[in-house]
Chain A
Amino acid sequence: MTIAVIGIGVACGLGHGKEAFRQGLFEAPNVFSHLKREGREPPEGEIPFIGVEMPDPPSILPARLARTATLSSRAAISVLDEAWNEAGLETVDPERIGLVVGGSNLMTRERVLALRDYSERLAYVPPRHGHMFLDTDICGLCTATYPIRGFAYSVGGASASGSVAIIQAMEAIRSGRVDVCIALGALQDLSAHDLQAMRAMGALGSTRFADSPADACRPMDTDHDGFIFGEACAALVLCRADKVTGGKLYGEILGASHVADGSRGPEPSSAGQVRAANLALAEAELTVSDIDTVNGHATSTPTGDDTELETYRTLGLEHARINATKSILGHGLSAAGAIEVAAVLIQIEEGRLHPNRNLETPLDPRFGWVGAKSETHDIRHALKFSFGFGGVDTALVIGAPGTGRRRQ
């Protein structure tokens, strides 16, 4: 069963909503700087963390709910509101609508601040803290604010969580459990503790560009030295392609795969990535030669980029055009898969590929990298990768409206 995307909501360093996203994707302004949110200060004497912080989400919740909603929750409400209204879900039976929130341990920055604030006065911990830091508080706020009554839950897939949420939403529709399912890649609100641990691990950049944040995030470039965090959040409204009745149709998810490659930690596996891609292509009843565009996971980490290039070579993707949305937005972690699929769908709609920022010396020049400017390109079939720590490999085959070979 082919799944259609009929609504999109986005939030990132480019701003809130699709208009800021669309313009920013193709113009690719610099949004990277030293991180300034409270709770992201570096250890004493060390260089500041680099990344992207989004503007404060628009006020949608009643004040009474907003004051106990975390940044991750408020960003989720903002993107859900946008996607919900675009898809016109007010006419759908609430019991036939589901919600899958992608991401785990989402609100660690605010949790760390709360632990700090109450460490000396534990007796006065606000009772609301008993549920407001749960990932599923996002589910609760979303279903309390919008008539979603099929189900709502969260799923974890580390940096592939957004794609895992999309795949779970697809499964829920295919099984007949609901007719419409919203996949939401939630904002991973990292604390200094998380950032420092990933810096110590060697995953987080950038030591090389400590004084020039604009140059720090450079997926697939020889000067890359680690991923750069970027706050993001995105919601996609999915439904059966044969049930779309007018309204917006961004594209179709023709094939999807989510596999475990047997890694415990951050180490990537090209074998797992290739297996995911081949399974997704098989489900779409397409071959690699049908893929004209690749949107990489492409984090800007040396090991990750090298391994992903090996995957491209093994699959034979030299003919396809390739870009990395993280070069513009940074790495949204739990949100990355969802907002990057949104980026693919916007590129399909516009018939344009967004630039690769900072790709000055590609690691492997034989591939069809998009340059520093956006380019006209008729996308029919795109391959989208998302990978996560703990051996999570996902691949999605995304088609322009009406391009699926496999019909119901």
Chain B
Amino acid sequence: MDSDQIVEIIIAEIRETVPELAEQAIGRDDSMADLGVDSIERSEIILAAMEQLGLKIPMVQLHGPRNIGELADLLLAKSSG
């Protein structure tokens, strides 16, 4: 698993959670806030991605990333750690 694969998982969860974004191009430089994802949806997306990665850590450890790529990098680091 590399960061780009985690980006794909996150984007798939974004499209699942916000069906209105199904057709929109989304990449690692986009931020969920700019895409219009609200805070509860963001948590839902991150939890679903964590479950796919088999990762169990408190959500507070995932604050900080400014875009999807940085979030994927952090999830990758936590998975490896």
Q: Which of B43, B44, B48, B56: most chain A Cβ within 10 A?
A: B44
| Contact residues of A: prevailing secondary structure | helix
Chain A positions 119 through 136: 1 when the CB is less than 8 Å from some CB of chain B, otherwise 0: 001011111100000000
Nearest-CB distance from A319 to chain B (Å)? Answer: 57
Question: Which of B43, B44, B51 meets A121, CB within 8 Å?
Answer: B51
B3-47 CB contacts (< 8 Å) to partner A: 17-20, 40, 43-44, 47
A44-97 CB contacts (< 8 Å) to partner B: 62-64, 67
- Closest B residue to A126 by beta carbon equals B44
Nearest-CB distance from B61 to chain A (Å)? Answer: 13
- A-chain residues with CB within 8 Å of residue B51 when the two chains form the complex: 121, 124
Nearest-CB distance from B14 to chain A (Å)? Answer: 11
Question: Which of B40, B50, B56 meets A127, CB within 8 Å?
Answer: B40
Chain A positions 96 through 128: 1 when the CB is less than 8 Å from some CB of chain B, otherwise 0: 000000000000000000000000010111111
- B-chain residues with CB within 8 Å of residue A121 when the two chains form the complex: 51
Q: How many angstroms from the CA of A127 to the CA of B19 in the assembled complex?
A: 18
Contact A127 B20 (CB under 8 A): no
Question: Which of B18, B43, B48, B56 meets A64, CB within 8 Å?
Answer: B18
- B-chain residues with CB within 8 Å of residue A125 when the two chains form the complex: 47
Contact A126 B20 (CB under 8 A): no
Q: How many angstroms from the CA of A143 to the CA of B45 in the assembled complex?
A: 26
Question: Which of B18, B20, B40, B50 meets A128, CB within 8 Å?
Answer: B40
Question: Which of A63, A64, A67, A127 meets B47, CB within 8 Å?
Answer: A127
Question: Which of B20, B40, B48, B56 meets A62, CB within 8 Å?
Answer: B20
Nearest-CB distance from B76 to chain A (Å)? Answer: 19
- A-chain residues with CB within 8 Å of residue B43 when the two chains form the complex: 127
Contact B20 A124 (CB under 8 A): no
Chain A positions 136 through 169: 1 when the CB is less than 8 Å from some CB of chain B, otherwise 0: 0000000000000000000000000000000000
- B-chain residues with CB within 8 Å of residue A127 when the two chains form the complex: 40, 43-44, 47
Nearest-CB distance from A391 to chain B (Å)? Answer: 39
Q: How many angstroms from the CA of A63 to the CA of B50 in the assembled complex?
A: 24
Question: Which of A63, A67, A124 meets B48, CB within 8 Å?
Answer: A124
Contact B44 A128 (CB under 8 A): yes
Contact B18 A124 (CB under 8 A): no
A266-294 CB contacts (< 8 Å) to partner B: none
Nearest-CB distance from B74 to chain A (Å)? Answer: 18
Contact A64 B20 (CB under 8 A): yes
Given A121-B51, A124-B50, A124-B51, verify A63-B44 contact (CB < 8 Å). Answer: no
- Closest B residue to A62 by beta carbon equals B20
- Closest B residue to A130 by beta carbon equals B40
Q: How many angstroms from the CA of A125 to the CA of B47 in the assembled complex?
A: 8
Contact A126 B47 (CB under 8 A): yes
- B-chain residues with CB within 8 Å of residue A128 when the two chains form the complex: 40, 44
Q: How many angstroms from the CA of A62 to the CA of B18 in the assembled complex?
A: 10
Contact B56 A123 (CB under 8 A): yes
Contact A64 B19 (CB under 8 A): yes
Q: How many angstroms from the CA of A63 to the CA of B15 in the assembled complex?
A: 11
Q: How many angstroms from the CA of A123 to the CA of B53 in the assembled complex?
A: 13
Q: How many angstroms from the CA of A125 to the CA of B44 in the assembled complex?
A: 8
Q: How many angstroms from the CA of A62 to the CA of B19 in the assembled complex?
A: 9
- B-chain residues with CB within 8 Å of residue A64 when the two chains form the complex: 17-20
Nearest-CB distance from B36 to chain A (Å)? Answer: 9
| 11 more A-B residue pairs beyond the given contacts A124-B48, A127-B47, with a C-beta to C-beta distance below 8 A | A63-B19, A63-B20, A64-B17, A64-B19, A64-B20, A124-B51, A125-B47, A126-B44, A127-B43, A127-B44, A128-B44
A interface residues, Cβ below 8 angstroms from B: 62-64, 67, 121, 123-128
B interface residues, Cβ below 8 angstroms from A: 17-20, 40, 43-44, 47-48, 50-51, 56
Closest 10 CB pairs of A and B: A63-B19, A124-B51, A127-B43, A126-B44, A127-B40, A123-B56, A124-B47, A64-B18, A64-B20, A127-B44
5 A-B contact pairs sorted by A residue (CB < 8 Å): A62-B20, A64-B18, A64-B20, A121-B51, A128-B44
